[in-house]
Amino acid sequence: QVQLVQSGAEVKKPGASVKVSCKASGYTFTSYDINWVRQATGQGLEWMGWMNPNSGNTGYAQKFQGRVTMTRNTSISTAYMELSSLRSEDTAVYYCARVASSGYYYFDYWGQGTLVTVSS
């Protein structure tokens, strides 16, 4: 069965960086784009960007340009999202999500979420 398993919770200081992993199993990792979505406590869903695991091509929401980097390691079917220059407003649960159908960005499988807390 398809699974996306994310790394554990992180606590970071303002100005630091965080790298969250998303390990895929149950399907061919390189066949489906991975997106990252975050959710602050009690708030809605915010799209951050996408990555094609086959080519490594990426695209980021304007809001995160210059601060976010999405990468992958195809040998271990894992996608990564690194966010730098962290501030308190980045405290949120970060989700990876698999695109359900090539070219159509709705998401059929989601990771369990990784809580990132930014606090001095």
Partner 1 sequence: DIVMTQSPDSLAVSLGERATINCKSSQSVLYSSNNKNYLAWYQQKPGQPPKLLIYWASTRESGVPDRFSGSGSGTDFTLTISSLQAEDVAVYYCQQYYSTPEITFGPGTKVDIK
Q: Where do contacts with partner 1 occur on this chain (CB under 8 A)?
A: 33, 35, 37, 44-47, 50, 59, 61, 95, 97, 100, 103-108, 110-113
Minimum CB distance to partner 1, residue 4 (Å): 9
Distance, in Å, from the CA atom of 3 to the CA atom of 48, rounded to the nearest integer, reads 21
Distance, in Å, from the CA atom of 85 to the CA atom of 30, rounded to the nearest integer, reads 30
Nearer to partner 1, 46 or 82 (CB): 46
Distance, in Å, from the CA atom of 115 to the CA atom of 8, rounded to the nearest integer, reads 7
| Contact between residue 92 and residue 116 where contact means Cβ atoms under 8 Å apart | yes
Minimum CB distance to partner 1, residue 93 (Å): 9
Minimum CB distance to partner 1, residue 32 (Å): 13
Nearer to partner 1, 17 or 101 (CB): 101
Nearer to partner 1, 11 or 108 (CB): 108
> Where are the extended beta strands (E) located within the chain?
3-6, 10-12, 18-25, 34-39, 46-51, 58-60, 68-73, 78-83, 92-101, 104-110, 114-118
Nearer to partner 1, 16 or 40 (CB): 40
Minimum CB distance to partner 1, residue 45 (Å): 4
